[in-house]
Amino acid sequence: MPYPEIGDTVIILNAGAYVSSMASNYNLLPRPAEIVLEGTNEILTKDHENIGSMLAGYKTDI
């Protein structure tokens, strides 16, 4: 598989047990968007995360 670049689309047809229900971002890597393909239609089921939304839940008044 060639190394993906920014803007590329990667399709994973089967990830076994490693699906979004098992995903985490403990290492501060944002989770990708999830898109369901139905025929030729693309349905965005979950938008990608960004650092701002990931850190929004952390307390900053230590």
Q: How confident is the model at residue 5 (pLDDT cuts 50, 70, 90)?
A: very high
Which of 53, 11, 14 shows the shortest CA–CA distance to 31?
53
Q: Is the pLDDT of residue 4 over 80?
A: yes
Sign of the torsion angle spanned by Cα atoms 26, 13, 1, 45: negative
- pLDDT for residue 16: 67
Residues 6+ apart with CB under 8 A from 45: 34, 35, 36
Instruction: Fill in the amino acid letter for 27.
Output: N
Q: Is the pLDDT score of 17 beyond 70? A: no
Kindly list the distances between the CA atom of residue 43 and the CA atoms of 17, 27, 37, in Å, as whole numbers in the listed order: 22, 28, 6
Q: Is pLDDT larger for residue 3 or for residue 30?
A: 3
Q: Give per-residue pLDDT as tens, 27-60.
A: 778 888 888 888 889 899 888 888 887 777 676 6
